[in-house]
Structure 1
Amino acid sequence: MKVLDLQCPDGHRFEGWFASVDDYESQLSRKLVECPMCGATHVSRLPSAPRLNLSGASETPRASPRDPAEHWQAHAMRVIREVLDKTENVGDRFAEEARRIHYKEAPSRNIRGVASAEDAQALVEEGIDVMPLPVPAALKGPLQ
């Protein structure tokens, strides 16, 4: 496997794993490579030292120093993925379902969904804890 350093037009840096450079170029031309933060499909390859992912390799490759923003982005993506994995998506019924749970009209569980700013404010005023969570475009579809 070839591990390539990639970047989208918004400056989000990330790694892509491909069978070969030709495989990367083929996927890129078909718009299959996208930024995990914003979903942009216009991605460019950054200069990097060659690195291969070989199973059974005897030495662990040294981690290269990274930009602190990359660490923050990676951590944010892990947190968002965990939230998405551990919550039920109730979609645009979020405010209604949050109220039902709060007033014990529905089973207690962790939910996520979509609410207007006005609905979110009304929930807070009712004493219902809510928190906005910006979800990157790449995570809005099914999790793989």
Structure 2
Amino acid sequence: MIQYTLKCAGGHAFDSWFQSADAYEKLHAAGMVACAVCGGADVTKAIMAPRVSAARSRADSAPATSAPATSGQGALTAPASPAEQAIRLLREKIESSSEYVGMSFADEARAIHEGSAPERAIHGEAKPAEARRLIEEGVPVAPLPFLPHRKSN
């Protein structure tokens, strides 16, 4: 296992574990590495210092403890800015008050618009061409500023 410090185009820094350096490269090339904060796919490795521990004597066998990050840089428990906090709250609201329909979003949105499916709030995924067709057909849709949880690292 290898841990990388990553950063996205939005300036978010976060850590992620990979099975190997090759595994990271394959996932990154396939577009499967996304920002843990905003979901952006434009992610690169950040400069990081190697973790090298000094040799310890047998008498000093107490486990080393690392202090938690106090600067907030890379912390995944709390958003680093008011904008990130607003996106997190929006995500929570959307996920709690609508149904996730996955990749069948375009078909489901169209069926609701035509009246052949029950009226309800939905969210999901659509290819750009499908989303464009929905807009051209007058189906009310809007892109969300985050990716589904299953695509987060």
2:127 counterpart (100, 116, 138):
116
Cα distance between partner residues in 1 of 2:82 and 2:124: 27
Could you list the per-position Cα deviations for residues 17-66 of structure 1 after superposition, in whole angstroms to 9, with x for gaps in the alignment?
xxxxxxxxxxx9x99xx9544599x9x71348xxxxxxxxxxxxxxxxxx
Matched residues, percent identical? 31
Alpha-carbon distance, 1:112 to partner: 0.7
Tell me, yes or no, if the aligned pair for 1:89 and 1:113 is still in contact at 8 Å: yes
Task: Report the residue type matching 1:96 in the other structure.
Answer: D
TM-score relative to the length of structure 2: 0.50
The answer to whether 1:97 aligns with 2:121 is: no
Tell me, yes or no, if the aligned pair for 1:88 and 1:111 is still in contact at 8 Å: yes
The answer to whether 1:73 aligns with 2:84 is: yes
Alpha-carbon distance, 1:85 to partner: 1.2
User: 1:140 maps to what in 2?
Assistant: 149
Tell me, yes or no, if the aligned pair for 2:99 and 2:123 is still in contact at 8 Å: yes
The answer to whether 1:131 aligns with 2:137 is: no
- Change in Cα spacing, 1:105 to 1:36, as seen in structure 2 (3 Å) is same
Structure 1 ranges of 4+ moved more than 6 A: none
Could you list the per-position Cα deviations for residues 69-124 of structure 1 after superposition, in whole angstroms to 9, with x for gaps in the alignment?
71111111101211111110111111111111011001000011111111001011
Cα distance between partner residues in 2 of 1:96 and 1:35: 29
Cα distance between partner residues in 1 of 2:36 and 2:97: 23
User: 2:70 maps to what in 1?
Assistant: 46
**RMSD in angstroms over aligned alpha carbons?**
3.6
- SS of the residue corresponding to residue 91 of structure 2 reads helix
Aligned length: 97
- Extract unaligned runs of 5+ from structure 2: 19-34, 47-67, 73-79
TM-score relative to the length of structure 1: 0.52
